[in-house]
Structure 1
Amino acid sequence: MVGVAPLVAEIDAGLADAAFGAALRQAARGASCFLISGDLSAPIGRDAEWIALLAETPALPVVVAEGAVGLRGLALMLLADLAFAGPDARWAGPEHASLSELAAIRLGPLAARQMAMSSDPVAALVAAGQVARVDDPLNMARAQAVALTGTAQRLRRGWRAARDLPSDEALTYGGWFNAVETKEEV
């Protein structure tokens, strides 16, 4: 793990599942953003507790895909709040049906079905707006992560509230939380 800027933790996606989970836990203690890059071609192993950890962390995940993308890379792109793919990023896995539930949670049922039926799920994620295809994904991701360090955790909490709470409670929570963060009178 290498720090890119204060509050941005860069994590190598090519680590074994247990080491990857440990790096995420360690970075979650102080980072407001995770920048995850490296080898995304790996499968998902048995010790994939990192999926739940990344889904619930208060830090904002930013993922960079270049070259071959396997099941781990596809899961990371689904879990990311920002994902960037280089021109050479391509699906290299045998199948991706095992990520159907995660895709439905993150993309909604229609885009999840489109991804499930696609022979190129990376292109499907680009078409759904989950991933941006750019010429220099690592530098774009670094710039975005640094730009979001001040608001990343607030964004994640708001998005989680919108996902987990009824709409009226999520809106009330958002208003209250923004008032507390900006020191406005409630």
Structure 2
Amino acid sequence: MIRPATPADAEALGVLGRQTFIDTFVAADGFAIPYPADDLKAFLEASFSADAVRTKLKEPGAAWWVAERDGELLAFANTGPNTLPHPEARPSHAELRRLYVSKAAQGLGLGTKLLAVALDWMEAHTDGPLWIGVWSGNLKAQKLYAAYGFEKAGEYEYPVGRWRDHEFILRRG
């Protein structure tokens, strides 16, 4: 079931976000990015602590959805005012900030379903194009976004502590 996230989901969202980030970007069977331990710890705390998630859930203009089964969160999507550093981007444009699917739920179609929900919401809450930042090495995600009409519009460095991930800025519209 896909539903809007609530403040009661903050702790579970933090756990899911932290684990999915580690499985995807850090684990040996993921992208195996060699983040320095202190940088990774600081990033995970700032991004996925229960308090950080509670604060993000209250952000004006942001929206969150979760996919759950039997009360367990399996995936989530988060959109909000654009924050990407592109000269044509405005805060009044919508950005897909995160689309995370747990390792255990991959292949169930939840990412595609959440993406459709998020894109519908973004279209209804923007006065310009839609934006996504995606890690330059994540070809699977880039292919998915391209299938929904997103094209590369720029590049930037995304901070994970002091470490910088090379990211692509995608735009649709």
Q: Please give the TM-score of this superposition, normalised by the length of structure 1.
A: 0.28
Q: Please give the TM-score of this superposition, normalised by the length of structure 2.
A: 0.29
Structure with more strand by fraction: 2
- Give the structure with higher Rg (CA): 1
Structure with more helix by fraction: 1
